[in-house]
Structure 1
């Protein structure tokens, strides 16, 4: 993956977007020593979100199955936010 600074990314943004969209080449953009972002295509982002959702569903199913086998104690939640927090996953629409 190519890594560039934010100043260079601004200069080359059109090219970087084209490469991300057509060649699926991600670019790591650094703003400072500890601030980084990755430019990817919308298709790649959609796939990433799909994989994340599938992983979270599998984790929930594993925990439900574990409770069904008596390996854990079932827990009741008053809100969806409490449930997501308990399982350590972000609520849909929440930024990670």
Structure 2
């Protein structure tokens, strides 16, 4: 089941989240609740269930496959030239995809 994205996710500081971790994990697993956790204004994370995480990964792979499929189709239609790349990073950038090192 996908997380409920209609409501604003619960947001907690890291100390509060640590004190409530068991409850937050149960809410994520059983209720698909999303909790935002902030360590600072620049260090933030989201707690979701493993099932929801796997669903997000599947959706990302499908989106990436769509980008690649469209690039191949554009080449077949003559709208895109065949390219060679010096690195994987250049390939990912050309297809507007995150590099493997940018993925979580």
> Shorter-chain TM-score: which interval?
0.7 to 0.9
> Which whole-Å deviations, capped at 9, do the CAs of 1:16-49 have from their partners, x for residues lacking one?
0010001000100011112210000000000000
What's 1:59 paired with?
A: 67
Q: Which runs of 4+ in 1 moved over 3 A?
A: 77-82
Distance in 1 separating the partners of 2:93 and 2:74: 18
What's 1:6 paired with?
A: 14
- The structure that is strand-richer by fraction is 1
- Taking structure 1 as the reference length, the TM-score comes to 0.87
Unaligned runs of 5+ in 2: 1-8
What's 1:31 paired with?
A: 39
Matches within 5 A, 1:1-96: 1-77=9-85, 80-92=88-100, 94-96=101-103
- Taking structure 2 as the reference length, the TM-score comes to 0.81
- Return the structure number with greater relative CO, CA threshold 8 A, min gap 6: 2
Count of residues paired in the alignment = 95
RMSD: 1.6
